[in-house]
Amino acid sequence: MADRVLVTLDAEVRDAEAPLLYADDIGALRGDGIFETVLLRGGSACALELHLARLARSAAALELPAPDLDAWRFAVEVAADAWGGDREGVLRMICTRGRDGAHPSGPAGKGDLAGPQPDTTGYVLVTPVPERVAAARADGISVITLARGLSDQVADTAPWLLLGAKTLSYATNMAALRFAARMGADDAIFTSTEHRVLEGPRSSVVIQRGKTLITPPARSGVLPGITQRALFAEAERAGWDCRYESFFTADLITADSIWLLSSVTLAARVNRLDGLRYSLPESAAEIPALVDRGIAREWSVTDW
């Protein structure tokens, strides 16, 4: 069984152990590009249409050409088939601005990475689900709150920060995770300068109080989460009250439960926050099953 699968946007399966990018790819030079991370389960890409819709939204935010969604769908299908349905996988769709100097319209230096779109670099990579994921799903995670150093009011006034777009510039998110690890935690929750809760470096935050679920709204500069969206859709169907509302760090402490939601880990319950222990209340026990059902739904790009 292959341990990684690589498919370029022209749907060609490549040798995943061979180099792929040109040295002057702007994605490598500047982290200038977008991506999606999708869970492969049972041989298919969960909530793919929502991921495609968000890819298109991120492309618009970065003023990249609109992605050819049919080409992406096909490349994902080829990659999912090559991976197989026996085990879960992490499928990444990666799209960079292409080669330095080849943008915006010059034919120079397209190389063989160009799919239907002449300028951007696009590929799909599948890798195994990291080992930490099983434990996070089963036992939850310990989390610390970390200041992001930004107001939750800047998303509209400073659109160049690209808050809410899923860009390849994740170095600061990874640094936050390393910092959390040094503090003995598994993950982090970013807070704004107003002490409002934002998101994790790679997850959405949802709090639960009784039959109510609350997540910070996109206008506060968080990435709209697909797993959170899937949870809310299923939870509403099951009679929960689901809200997009700003809340403070102090509200985490009084919540019945806190969840970090993301496409690969899915629902990770916070079992320790800044050293404070949280047990799983009976009232939250169905949340992981709601997420599982939500991501397995038939979604369409227009649901975004």
Tokens of residue 19, six digits? 């180099």
> Please, what sign has the CA dihedral across residues 222, 228, 257, 186?
negative
Based on CB atoms, which residue is closest to ligand PLP, 153 or 169?
169
> Is residue 223 part of the contact set for ligand PLP (CB under 6 A)?
yes
> How many whole angstroms separate alpha carbon 139 and alpha carbon 134?
8
Based on CB atoms, which residue is closest to ligand PLP, 225 or 288?
225
> Is residue 262 part of the contact set for ligand PLP (CB under 6 A)?
yes
CB of 226: closest distance to ligand PLP in angstroms?
Answer: 3
- Where does this chain touch ligand PLP (CB under 6 A) — which range of 91-99, 146-154, 218-226, 282-290? 218-226
> Is residue 133 part of the contact set for ligand PLP (CB under 6 A)?
no
Based on CB atoms, which residue is closest to ligand PLP, 146 or 223?
223
- List, as one string, the DSSP characters of 123-150: EEEEEEPPTHHHHHHHH-EEEEEEE--S
Start-to-end C-alpha separation, the chain? 35
> Is residue 226 part of the contact set for ligand PLP (CB under 6 A)?
yes
**For the chain, what percentages of helix, strand and coil (3-state, to nearest 5) are there?**
30, 30, 40
Based on CB atoms, which residue is closest to ligand PLP, 64 or 264?
264
> Is residue 167 part of the contact set for ligand PLP (CB under 6 A)?
no
Contact 33, 93 (CB under 8 A): no
Contact positions vs ligand PLP (CB under 6 A): 37, 199, 202-204, 223, 225-228, 261-263
